[in-house]
Every structure is written in structure tokens, then in C-alpha cells.
A and B are shown apart, each in its own frame.
Chain A
Amino acid sequence: MHYARNPAVLWRSTSRGPVLLVPGHDDPERLGGLAAVVWEVLDEPLDLEALCDEAMSLLDHRPDLSPCLDALLAAGVVQLG
């Protein structure tokens, strides 16, 4: 199973984190923290292991991404394929 950005999400990168407009949402929102890291490293689909490796390269530790990914999946920001 691979995680991927929802291609229907409109977005822009900024120094303060990615700004996303998710289909069905009225307003754009800025991602911060782990969610921002997940979005940035998912410029290509990755499985959970590879996703954690990529995130670790940006952080000082290996993060537990499961809660963050669950929230991003529920919000329609990322998808499983």
C-alpha cells in the first residue's frame, strides 16, 4: 500500500508550510508540523516504511506517522493506493 497526495488538492509551498485547498472545503489551510513534512515528502507515492525514512531525513528522529496519516486520510489530503 502506498500513500500519495490527493491529486485533486490545490496547493502551494511556502516557507511556513504548504497551503492546501481540499475539494469540498471552503477555505485553504496551512499545514504545519508532521503534516507539512508528510505532504512535502509525498511528492511521489511512498509506502509507510519509505515515508518514515524520508521524514526522518528531515527530522532528528524517526517519527510515528500513523496518527498524522490517519488524520490526513480522513481529511482527504492524502490517499491510499
Chain B
Amino acid sequence: MTTLDLLRAVARHGVVGGDTGPVSVAPEQVATLLVEATAHKLVGLLDQAVADGVVRCDEESAVRVGDRAVEVAAWSVQLERHLLVVHDLFDDAGLPHRFVKGATVAHRFYSHPGLRMSVDVDALVEPAELDRAVALLVEAGHTRQQRDPYPGFSRRYAKSVSLRSAAGIEVDLHRVIPDGPFGLRASPDVVWTRPAGAVAVGGREVPALDPVAAFVQACVNAVASYDMVSLASLRDVVEVAAAVAGVVPELRSLAAAMGVEACLAEAVAHAVVELGWDAPASVAEIARWPISAREREWLDSYRLRPSDARRALLGMHAVPGLSGKVAYLVSVAALSTGRPARRRAREGHPPRRSGRHPR
């Protein structure tokens, strides 16, 4: 059995319809399995699968998996401590924010948060507040990972801005939920018209996306990101779906307003195939929502990792209105002349993280 097959069995463990019986891991496979489980953010689930006998291995291998799970857990709680620091910073400054992914999914939608591994802190801020949010974090000792190619570029076109704390914790400030063309297609304001959800972290409530928006985010993250798509992101789709199976019309309304119905259809279809998920009927229906030829091209582009020029062209198609397209092309063209400018252009995009290490 290949490492990917093993990981797929781990990702399926506990999914309705997903379990396919025990799988065995040879001692010589464990090192590779741990590296790939880290890349796919599945260490917690792997630890659980070994404890449940779904993944069978010798005692020494089981201890190695458990030790890795302890390391990942230690990193996760340090991330949560930092999440609370970021929350206090923004709250004191009166800056609206919603935490996304990571702890907000682990605590609310998984049977216990140890099953869902995190690598950084993610917060969504309103585009108009992005520069202020960055300034607050820089003032608090964070270092911005990419310079703005020119003032206002990130606020208008970037998916997110990454910063790093002195302790090495990455904080991603998201302007929009989808990367690439889907992120340029619709106004990011839609999600801010919804009331915030809340999640308890360390006995305190912090703002998060409400479950409907969290499901949209989980689906988008699974299929519309230039970062490596992990099996855990598909597992998120399954876990969050349990909370929204009764409100699919509301889901569709939000997805339509955000221009990401195709992402939901693609993500649910992938989760069903990859994880063997027997989705609730109302959710399974989402996989049959139509995907246009252009949306198919966009969805495929996330996997094919196109050049910056190709990404710019796809983005131009997505930006609404002629004046918007012209402004976008002028911005991108201004970045693509000369070597330093090309470097700055690359820096204007979120990094393609390998996701192979939790820190």
C-alpha cells in the first residue's frame, strides 16, 4: 500500500461511509508516513487511527506516531495562545475580524480538536482595514513576509498578507476567502454582512465565521487555493457539513453572492470520491450544482499551478466590469516590467507553501 493510500485511509477514518477496514504500516514506511501526514495535516487523525486499530503497526511505530502527535499538539496550543494575542490586539484597536480555519474549525466541528492540525493563525479582515491590521501586527513585533508591491496593491488584489511573530508563528491576514480568479470575481464585503460566529478558546470567546460561511470557506479552501491542497481540507468539508446540512438554501445564497457555487460543487464531489463520504442527501445535492466552462478552467488552474502571466490573465477574466479589468491589468503589467518588478509581483501573491512542516 502506498503512503498516499495510507493517508487516504487515515483521512477517511470516522467519515460516514469512509472506513474501509484496517490497513497495515511497515516499520520502514513510518518515517515517510509521518512526513506526508504532516504535509496533509493529518497527524492527529493518524494518531487516532492507530489508537483505534484502523492503522496497524508495531509498538515502536505507534510510539513514534504518538510522539509526533504530541509535537503537533504542542504547536497547536502555542498557536492558540498567539491567536488570543492577535484577538486582543485587534479588539483593543476596534478592528473587526473573524478567525478562520485552524482552531475555529477544530473546536467547533471536530469530535475533539486534536484531530485537526494547524500550522498558523488565520484571520479575515475587511479590505479597507487590511493595512491597519498589518500595521498593528508590525507594531506588536511581527515581520511582514512580503512587501506590498506598491501601496494599496494587497488591499485591492491579494488574497492575504503573511506576517511572522518573533517566536516564528505565521499570521495570515486574509482579505478574501478564495485565492485567484474566484477571489477577484466577487466583492469581499459579502461575508461581512453576516453576523460573526464565536468559538471558545482558552475559556474566551473569539469571533469566527458562522457555520454557513465556515462551510463555504472550507469548500473554497479545498479546491480554490494555490497552496498545496491537503486531505485535511477535504476532511474539513465533511466535518463542517454536519452543521449545515439543514440550511443548504442559505448556503447556496451565500455561495452565489460570493461567486463560489462552483467551488462548493467541486469540493463536495471531491470529498465524496476521495473520502468515500456518504454525504447527507441535502449536501450531496451540492455536487450537482452547475459548473460553467470558465469556472472549470479556473478550478483546474489551481491544480495546474499556472505561471504568473497565466494567473494574471485568469484574474483579468474574473474581475468584474471593464474599468475593473483595465485597472487590474494595469496593476499587474506595472509589476511585470523589469526583474525587480517581477520579483515584487511574485511577492504580491501568497506564497506557495509546501505545508510540510508544522513550524
Contacts and interface: CB of A to CB of B under 8 A. Distances in A.
B67 A16 contact: yes
Interface stretch (A5-13, A48-56, A59-67): A5-13
A28 B78 contact: yes
A23 B77 CA distance: 11
B194 to A, nearest CB: 28
Tell me if A's interface is mostly helix, strand, loop or mixed. Answer: loop
Contact of A14 (B47, B78, B202, B204): B47
15 contacts: A6-B203, A7-B203, A9-B202, A10-B202, A12-B113, A13-B114, A15-B50, A15-B62, A16-B66, A16-B69, A19-B73, A21-B74, A28-B74, A28-B77, A28-B78
Nearest to A30: B70
B76 interface: yes
A15 B202 contact: no
A14 B114 contact: yes
Interface string B201-236: 111100000000000000000000000000000000
A17 B203 CA distance: 21
Of the candidates A7, A9, A10, A11, the one having the most CB atoms from chain B within 10 angstroms of its own CB is A10
Interface string A1-40: 0000011111111111101110100011010000000000
Given A19-B77, A20-B77, A12 B202 contact: no
Given A14-B47, A14-B114, A15-B51, A21 B81 contact: yes
Given A13-B114, A15-B47, A7 B202 contact: yes
Contacts of B203: 6-8
A12 B47 contact: no
Contacts of B114: 12-14
Residues of B in contact with A, size category = 20 to 34
Of the candidates B70, B73, B203, B204, the one having the most CB atoms from chain A within 10 angstroms of its own CB is B73
Interface of A: 6-17, 19-21, 23, 27-28, 30
Contacts of A6: 203
A8 B69 CA distance: 22
Contact of B78 (A13, A16, A21): A21
Contacts of B204: 8
Nearest to A5: B203
A6 B204 CA distance: 12
A16 B114 CA distance: 12
A15 B69 contact: yes
B207 to A, nearest CB: 18
Contacts of A28: 73-74, 77-78
